[in-house]
Structure 1
Amino acid sequence: MLKFIKHHMDSITGIEIYPVISLLIFFLFFVVLFYWVITAKKDYINKVSQIPLENQENDTLS
């Protein structure tokens, strides 16, 4: 089965670029995410971190 798949993958021209593109997209996503985390304002982080607690308090009061 693996030989069957490998044979068909070898017959497709230009297929060797897809793993490189996938790796670049993966790497760039985490670089951008890391940059966002480093530059995020502390006030925003604190506000968003309180959201689950606010929802839990509202549920218990009802």
Structure 2
Amino acid sequence: MLKFIKNHMESITGIEIYPMMSLLIFFIFFVALFWWVITAKKDYITQVSKMPLDNQNNQTSCDI
């Protein structure tokens, strides 16, 4: 099965760019995410981390 797919992929011209593009997109995304985490303000991180535990927000309960 793999032999069939490999031979089929080799016959397509210009296909070698797609793995490089996907690796580049993957790398750029995680570098940008890492940069955002490093430069994020501590107050914002603290506020967002406490949101799930904040009981003062309007909560809807589903009573069955």
Question: TM-score, length-normalised on structure 2?
Answer: 0.82
**CA RMSD between the two structures:** 1.6
Structure (1/2) with the larger helix percentage: 1
Please say if 1:37 is aligned against 2:37. Answer: yes
* Cα shift readout 1:13-55 (whole Å, capped 9, x = no counterpart): 0000101000000000000000000110011000000011115
Q: How does 1:19-58 map to 2 (within 5 A)?
A: 19-55=19-55
Matched residues in 2 for 1:32 and 1:25: separation?
10
Structure 1's unaligned 5+ residue stretches are none
Question: TM-score, length-normalised on structure 1?
Answer: 0.85
Identity of aligned residues (%): 76
The AA in structure 2 aligned to 1:15 is I
Matched length: 58
Q: Report the equivalent of 2:13.
A: 13
Please identify runs of 4+ aligned residues in structure 1 that moved more than 3 A: none
